[in-house]
Structure 1
Amino acid sequence: MDETTGTLVVGTFLTLDGVMQAPGGPDEDRDGGFELGGWSVNYWDEQMGEVMDSQFADADALLLGRRTYEIFAAYWPNVDGADDPTAAKLNSMSKYVASRTLDRVEWNNSTLLSGDVVEAVKDLKNERGDVIMVQGSQDLIQTLLAADLIDEFWLWIFPLTLGEGKRLFDDGTVPAALELTDVDTSSTGVQMLRYERAGEIDHGSFTLDEEAE
């Protein structure tokens, strides 16, 4: 676990089998020939909107990969913040974009991170000292997982399986114990879970001791 002062949170939508690819629409991310996008849309209810507003209220800054930044930047500036607290927060909060291909970022209060992404995120956590949330950004999350930089997971588990697609916990995930700190369940069966890092894994065994001779 890194020793930086800020809190890095991964907030993402997942299927029961761990897929996070393209929850919001068929054309969101077709990498690998993925044709099952939009799987989260028909599960939304009023409670999920309230929890979403609450979670973004708890975040101080947003960290995004290139693809998710482009999706968000094309959508959220067109949503009226007067009627949508999440839009108001996203459009006004500080945003940091990790990309090797973008030359500039134009969404309000966005900054392009340069150089090594792991070192840039460590510096960002130390400089800010507050809560930075990663949304989407599967490729970026794999780098952050391998570097052991993630402090909390805010996971929304949708009651379906896809059998294919990009997964949150892929190769390179560091073994770690987690503590469940909050649970909400929507009327459609979506579980909204918060986990915090809880040190190392405490290994044990159910093997029975051999009887004394």
Structure 2
Amino acid sequence: MTRQTTGRRVVANMSLSLDGRYAKSDPLDMGWVMPYAVTDVARAHLTSLWEPATTALLGRVNAEGFLGFWPTVIGMEGADPRDEAFAKWLVEADKVVLSSTLREAPWERAAVVDRPTAEVAAELKAGEGGDIVVFSSASVIKALLAADLVDRLALMVFPIFLGEGTHLFADDLPANRWTLVSQTAGEHGELALVYDRTRRA
């Protein structure tokens, strides 16, 4: 007998190329993402992830990028209301930043933790609150997949081969089964896919 995960979920969110890469050789080159990240499908996908969540779990690099940019969207002239809603959620949500170099968090409602990723995620999962979302922090997601702690895997797949860069899924991940819970195709060929980890009862 199998069951879907209930209770507080760990949700991993990542954008991928069709050849399974999340970044080019230069990780700062995100030009391949932008044409698809601002589509209605991508925005609806992101909204569906943050609305049931109360905690963001981030690596240091992504925390600096996300929290340096998104708060500036609030009140920005011409900002899409969905982007502004996400920005407000991110500011107000609890944020846990995994880092061995930061000593304190320069952001509101954020805590810096220097402990193994799986240990931190398991502790958060056992606590109270809504979903725990990992937004595009590849090192965090890889560690959680290796520990089989991801309950929901949310992917935006873009119709492009990068031909270089880093793959998200390692060869030595534990074998397991996933159930497709939603799929949406966009007008530019992008796909929003959400899978839930199916576990034995």
The structure, 1 or 2, with the larger RCO (C-alpha pairs under 8 Å, 6+ apart) is 2
Q: Tell me, what secondary structure is at the counterpart of 1:180?
A: strand
Cα shift readout 1:5-39 (whole Å, capped 9, x = no counterpart): 521010111111111126xxxxxxxxx55585321
The match for 1:170 is 170
8 Å CA contact retained: 2:54, 2:129: no
Point out the structure with the larger strand share.
2
Q: Partners of 2:75 and 2:14 in 1: how far apart?
A: 22
> 1:41-56 counterparts in 2 under 5 A?
41-43=34-36, 44-56=38-50
8 Å CA contact retained: 1:94, 1:109: yes
Gaps of 5+ in 2: none
Q: Partners of 2:63 and 2:154 in 1: how far apart?
A: 19
Cα shift readout 1:86-124 (whole Å, capped 9, x = no counterpart): 111111111111111111112221111233332222111
Among 39, 59, 70, the residue aligned to 1:65? 59
Q: Partners of 2:129 and 2:197 in 1: how far apart?
A: 17
Cα shift readout 1:118-163 (whole Å, capped 9, x = no counterpart): 2222111101353101011111222111111111101111011112
Matched to 1:45, the amino acid is T
Matched to 1:77, the amino acid is P
Q: CA deviation at 1:71?
A: 0.5
TM-score by length of 1: 0.80
Matched to 1:42, the amino acid is P
Change in CA separation of 1:197 and 1:54 when aligned onto 2, cut-off 3 Å: closer
Q: Indicate the percent of aligned positions where both proteins have the same amino acid.
A: 31
When the two structures are aligned, how many residues end up with a matched partner?
Answer: 189
8 Å CA contact retained: 2:20, 2:168: yes
8 Å CA contact retained: 1:81, 1:87: no
Q: CA RMSD in A?
A: 2.3
Matched to 1:14, the amino acid is L
The match for 2:13 is 11
Matched to 2:124, the amino acid is L
The match for 1:102 is 102
For the pair shown, the structure with the greater C-alpha radius of gyration is: 1
8 Å CA contact retained: 1:114, 1:120: no
8 Å CA contact retained: 1:69, 1:97: yes
> 1:110-189 counterparts in 2 under 5 A?
110-128=110-128, 130-189=130-189
Q: Tell me, what secondary structure is at the counterpart of 1:128?
A: coil
Q: Partners of 1:95 and 1:135 in 2: how far apart?
A: 11
Q: Partners of 1:181 and 1:141 in 2: how far apart?
A: 20
TM-score by length of 2: 0.84
Change in CA separation of 1:112 and 1:18 when aligned onto 2, cut-off 3 Å: same
Change in CA separation of 1:148 and 1:4 when aligned onto 2, cut-off 3 Å: farther
